[in-house]
Amino acid sequence: MNNDRKAQYTFGMVGLGTMGRNLLLNMADNGFAVTGYDKSEKMLQIFEEEGKKHNLKGFSEIEDFVQSLQTPRTIILLVPAGAIVDSVILELQPLLDEGDIIIDSGNSHFTDTSRRAIELKEKGIHFFGMGISGGEEGARFGPSMMPGGDKKAYSVVKKMLEAVSAKVNDEPCVTYIGPGASGHFVKMTHNGIEYAIMQLLAETYEILKNGLDYDNNQIQAVFEKWNNGRLKSFLMEITKDVFLFKDVKTGNLLVDEIKDEAKSKGTGKWTSQVAMDIETPIPTIDAAVSSRNLSKLKKLRVELAEAFPAAEKINATKDFINDLEEAFYFAMASAYAQGMHLLWQASIQYEYELNLAEIAKIWRGGCIIRAEFLEDIYQAYKKQPELQHLYEDTSIQKKINQSLKGTRNVVCSAIQAGLAIPAYAASLTYFDTLKTSRMPSNLTQAQRDFFGAHTFERIDSEGIFHADWNKQNL
């Protein structure tokens, strides 16, 4: 039951950590009556301190928090994904009424979101999953958001989400994504692309540092220059800044003092797993996930570095840095194209009714993968909403053709030198495979039929065939 006298807030947030606290402050800045709940007293204190100008108060008791919300209640969750989301829902459930709305904005697995939506629907509670991206800064001043699920529930929060989101050309970086867990699926794919672009930047660093012997100033200058051109993006921008940041302890650049073992929370891995499940190739993203795992094999890598020859310097041609810019453009385009293709396939598989143009549009600002290139992707899908693959767009084709020569030079040179560039190489072979009208997979089919009678199809007649391969006494 709601006590109307106390019910003064329109939106409530569970979890006042990095994302929840900043999104709530953003909502307060935009004039919404908000409050929050967190188990941690420390988080509540920080929230109230940072929300001083709005006189914001948080709750440490969940009952008080729920009672403070106007009905139907709208509660956003920004707690760590997994079991904690279920335990928060379990705590909230007996305190809620029919028609209340729970929005899970953490990086939850989309299958968990589907399950939770079904469970809560039975109790008359609207539940939807909403991916959010932009980190601390984005949450505070304008994130990109990907809400999916119950459309009626979305209409309750639409205005608020549009107000707090990032804007590009005055257009909000939020849109209704689609039914079911589509919001979390799209956010997961966003993170898969994020992994791929980060890996490409790391491989570029490897080429510059170990292939060309560039020092940190030279490396910084390359990223800085690229960020002033067509490769401009949030990840390029922070990378050029990383190469300026000094470690207070040693006086060296901090990046040189950080262990070469990359951690992950799982969204990249989920993207690869799901892509395998629905048979959609995303090799650049897969390479990025594998590279993080390879980085964790530090002891083995150190041992094997003693046993095998080290990488050599690249025998660089005069225009090598231009070629590298082209290679980055090419591989970046490949990574985004793979992510968009995964969304295209998922939309069919899970009946998400995704509008790929709208998704590219809301990724242009606020999120971690925002980039100049997203405008090209947006235009491509706007022109042809049914496009299966970004490579089918003629203006993208033109740019890819122009960057091919440089890309091949960079990939061949780096591989020849013995440098590890799995994401660059995967991007190129993905492209080369996709533009092969007759792949050598006829041989694979012949082998399968030879050893296991798995059958094959013929090019000259319909049907399923099997050959008695041993009969010809080969």
Ligand X SMILES: NC(=O)C1=CN([C@@H]2O[C@H](COP(=O)(O)OP(=O)(O)OC[C@H]3O[C@@H](n4cnc5c(N)ncnc54)[C@H](OP(=O)(O)O)[C@@H]3O)[C@@H](O)[C@H]2O)C=CC1
Task: Point out which residues pair with 129 in neighbouring strands.
Answer: 104, 148
CB of 194 to ligand 5RP, least distance (A): 6
Position of minimal CB gap to ligand X: 17
Among the listed ranges 31-39, 228-236, 265-273, 416-424, the one in contact with ligand 5RP (CB under 6 A) is 265-273
Residue placing its CB nearer to ligand X in the complex, 84 or 262: 84
Strand order in the sheet with 58-59: 58-59, 34-37, 9-14, 69-77, 101-104, 126-133, 144-149
160 binds ligand X (CB under 6 A): no
Please tell me which residue in 119, 151, 187, 265 is annotated as part of the active site. Answer: 187
Please tell me which residue in 136, 152, 194, 225 is annotated as part of the active site. Answer: 194
State which of residues 368, 377, 419, 428 lies at the interface with ligand 5RP (CB under 6 A).
368
Q: Is 265 a catalytic residue?
A: no
DSSP one-letter string for 229-268: TTT-BHHHHHHHHHTTPBPTTTSSBGGGGS-S-----SHH
Choose from ligand 5RP, ligand X, none: what does 112 bind? Cβ within 5-8 Å by kind.
none
Is the peptide bond between 281 and the residue preceding it cis, with omega within 30 degrees of 0? no
Choose from ligand X, ligand 5RP, none: what does 335 bind? Cβ within 5-8 Å by kind.
none
Angle at 105 between CA 100 and CA 111, to 5 degrees: 90
Q: Is 194 a catalytic residue?
A: yes
38 binds ligand X (CB under 6 A): yes
CB of 43 to ligand X, least distance (A): 4
Amino acid found at 426: A
Burial (CB count within 10 angstroms: exposed 0-12, middle 13-18, buried 19+), residue 305 = exposed
Please, are residues 179 and 351 in contact by the beta-carbon 8 Å criterion? Answer: yes
133 binds ligand 5RP (CB under 6 A): yes
Residue 390, CA distances (Å) to 17, 182, 336, 399 in order: 37, 20, 8, 12
Q: How many CB atoms lie within 10 A of CB 286?
A: 25
State which of residues 10, 264, 280, 295 lies at the interface with ligand 5RP (CB under 6 A).
264
Residue placing its CB nearer to ligand X in the complex, 35 or 413: 35
CB of 344 to ligand X, least distance (A): 24
Residue placing its CB nearer to ligand 5RP in the complex, 269 or 341: 269
Which tokens hold the place of 417?
A: 């030198």
Size of the site for ligand X (CB under 6 A): 24
Choose from ligand X, ligand 5RP, none: what does 264 bind? Cβ within 5-8 Å by kind.
ligand 5RP
Query: What is the number of helices (H) and of strands (E) in the chain?
Result: 19, 9
CB of 133 to ligand X, least distance (A): 6
Q: Which of residues 54-93 bind ligand X (CB under 6 A)?
A: 78-81, 84, 87-88
Task: Point out which residues pair with 102 in neighbouring strands.
Answer: 75, 127
The kind and range of the H/E element at 417 are helix 394-417
Which tokens hold the place of 337?
A: 């194209």
Contact set with ligand X (CB under 6 A): 14-20, 38-40, 43, 78-81, 84, 87-88, 106-107, 132-133, 135, 265
Contact set with ligand 5RP (CB under 6 A): 107, 133, 135, 191, 194, 264-265, 267-268, 368
